[in-house]
Structure 1
Amino acid sequence: MSIKVVEWSTGYLGRMAVEAIEARPELELVGVFVSDPAKVGVDAGRLAGMDRDLGVVATDDRAALLALSPDVVVYTAETETRFMGAIEDFTEFLRAGIDVVASGPVLLQYPHGTLPEEMIDALAAAGRDGGATLHVNGIDPGFANDVLPLVMTSLSRRIDLIRVGEIADYSVYHQGETMRRLFGFGRTMDTLPPLLRPGMLAAGWGSVVRQLAAALEVTLDEPLIERHERLPADRDLSLLACEVPAGTQAALRFEVVGQVDGEDRIVLEHVTRTAVDQAPDWPRPDHGDGCYRIEIQGEPTMRVEFTHHAEHGDHNESGMLVTAMRLVNAVEAVVAADPGLVYAKDLPMITGRGLMKR
């Protein structure tokens, strides 16, 4: 019996999700939500760029989609600037008995210690009341810094330190608002970007640190530690998303650290450059221009670098693709999970079953 799926939004990530839902043998796409009036009435296959019809037309009628009684909503709508709107959506779906697999808000990847417990409890209660489950995940925060490191710890006899994170070239990253306003690239060095205000890094990535700690049954010191370092551009740079004049912020390195008795134990790190020759003393990938790196110090000491690229070599496109695939490929496991909130540490192994075709 197939799992009936509604895809919620057809932005860059949502279009990939539509095609992925169509590819999975156990999933049946029954509806697509769009917010752009120009997309209403357009077949989902055309919206996904598949050059064929899937027989499912997009709509902005929420009630009509819920009336389809889908088993699950794959939710790829933008959430970081409409956090409470997303919470309201999730609550409505859960109370209607519809499971939700979502790419954000990233705080919900593992919200304990970041969000008020009463807000978490309300979402979990909505799921229990409706008999439905919510799972939020992606690639970062997500698979690269929760599932992958936890799998590696199964090889450990002793764990002294876990360091996970991203080393990336953002010169071809296409999110201008994120690059300039949130990260501060291209802005003066005396302007502190919102991302680096006290508590913001822990709010965005602390869920990674806390989920790893919970999975390993480690009690962390509170609050989490935030560290950052910024470097200016030594020349004018023209990026895909914005301009970076000489002297303005061009590179950023930050850490969110979970300590035990004042000693670093779990570290989430991001190393972000906008030119390959910047910050030569900062960590670099062993190969290529970007990676997710997992390092476990202990017995034994281990390191893995995870890289990806699309068919035509674009790592930005493949970054979106792996995020969409993690969501869609997790649907079956989330549907089978107990009602409430389910986290990556609690899900069974998720594979690409059925995707190896002739």
Structure 2
Amino acid sequence: MRRVVQFSTGNVGQHSLRALIGRPDFELVGVHAANPDKVGRDAAELCGLAGPTGVLATDDIDSLIALEPDCVVYTALGETRPMEAIDQMARFLAAGINVVGTSMVWLVTPRQIDDWLREPLENACAAGDSSLYVNGIDPGYSGDTAVLAALSLATRAQSVTVQEVFDYGNYDDYEYTGKAMGFGTTADDEPAMAFQPGVITTMFGGLVRNIAHHLGAELDDVTQRFEPWYTDRRIECKMMTVEPGGLAGVRFAAEGVRDGTALVTVEHTTRLTPAAAPDWEYPPDGHSGVHKVIVEGEPRVEMNTLLSHPVLDVTEAGCVSTAARVVNVIDWVCRAPAGIIAVEDIPPAEMVRGLVW
């Protein structure tokens, strides 16, 4: 049985915490919470379970290290505080504790990351003889596992497109996602953080380059594009209320270009409620979100991933799947050689061990 610690209990962390508590092959020994209101509360309470676990949340990293867990599930938001997140993960790794996580999306393609990010984490892995694996659903599954599956069905590929087409109206994350994408801002405002020059290629360019690498294809450049959509009427949803003239839809992409043509495209179409951006692509009927891979080639391949849940909205179901991508490989990561792990290093069957319980 693997001893595990959950680090953060936010949109993704609450779901990985529920999984860790439920799985018979894991023993939850610790929970980290940065929010003072969560410190001291039982792990079950923090993820909506009834029966107490006896494991209380703490903000003391040293006390979690002292528990000597086999693995830490790191789901704390790191993209807005990268140096702090690197330091936190490195402390566990240097202490000989493996880390799996959904934070720091650049690490989804570890062979494409810059030295400032890779070196401190590699050094920590070497010091502690430990392993680090970061993945999710997007970035993550849609741009690696689904792409490789789709490409395996073609004898020749002319182009590859990875798409997320989602209604974020019911995603309760205005403080990060809403602000980062600039929902509610007007055409007269400065572009939001996510759409400043170079940000899209920084966040998603690694996925583009990684797909091209697997194809054995040289790219001339990785570029970005961004298209806003402003509403002419009031839009109300769980994330926020957008007044007329406010941003309620965005379409953006990172594109790997060769000979003037996009060879690899990673594109997002994000709207707040179906009323936004009516001329843009929608998910298939009856769904509010889809992750899609399209291979133009011999033959043309289109692979759609549709998530659903009897209680949760599709965006929250996506958070469950994001958590699953790391929780399900804890045992393999604990057995892996020291270092930073890429998804292609992991045998696919190891991602589904122990799921029936």
Q: TM-score, normalised by structure 2?
A: 0.92
Counterpart of 1:98? 97
The amino acid across from 2:89 in the alignment is: F
Matched-pair contact (CA < 8 Å) for 2:110–2:342: no
Counterpart of 1:264? 262
Q: Does 1:12 align with 2:43?
A: no
C-alpha change, 1:201 and 1:335, in structure 2 (3 Å) is same
The amino acid across from 1:356 in the alignment is: V
Per-residue deviation, 1:297: 0.9
Counterpart of 2:29? 30
SS in 2 for 1:134: strand
Counterpart of 1:355? 355
Per-residue deviation, 1:158: 0.8
The amino acid across from 1:228 in the alignment is: F
Q: Does 1:173 align with 2:171?
A: yes
Matched-pair contact (CA < 8 Å) for 2:150–2:302: no
C-alpha change, 1:182 and 1:39, in structure 2 (3 Å) is closer
Task: Give 2:281's match in structure 1, choosing from 271, 275, 283.
Answer: 283
Per-residue deviation, 1:108: 1.7
Q: Does 1:62 align with 2:61?
A: yes
Distance of 2:321 and 2:24 partners within structure 1: 18
Per-residue deviation, 1:186: 1.3
Alignment length (residue pairs): 354
SS in 1 for 2:31: strand
How do 1:1-358 residues align onto structure 2 when only pairs under 5 Å count?
A: 2-113=1-112, 115-191=113-189, 192-222=191-221, 224-287=222-285, 288-349=287-348, 350-357=350-357
C-alpha change, 1:104 and 1:283, in structure 2 (3 Å) is same
Decide which moves more: 9-18 or 226-235.
9-18
Distance of 2:180 and 2:39 partners within structure 1: 32
Matched-pair contact (CA < 8 Å) for 1:244–1:250: yes
Distance of 1:243 and 1:127 partners within structure 2: 45
Could you list the runs of 5+ residues in structure 1 that have no partner in the other structure? none
Could you list the runs of 5+ residues in structure 2 that have no partner in the other structure? none
The amino acid across from 1:215 in the alignment is: H
Per-residue deviation, 1:39: 3.3
SS in 2 for 1:282: coil
Per-residue deviation, 1:202: 0.9
C-alpha change, 1:197 and 1:112, in structure 2 (3 Å) is farther
Decide which moves more: 292-301 or 344-353.
344-353
> CA RMSD of the aligned region, Å?
1.9
Per-residue deviation, 1:22: 2.6
Runs of 4+ in 1 over 4 A off after TM superposition: none
Matched-pair contact (CA < 8 Å) for 2:237–2:273: no
Q: TM-score, normalised by structure 1?
A: 0.92
C-alpha change, 1:176 and 1:20, in structure 2 (3 Å) is same
The amino acid across from 1:355 in the alignment is: L
Per-residue deviation, 1:171: 1.9
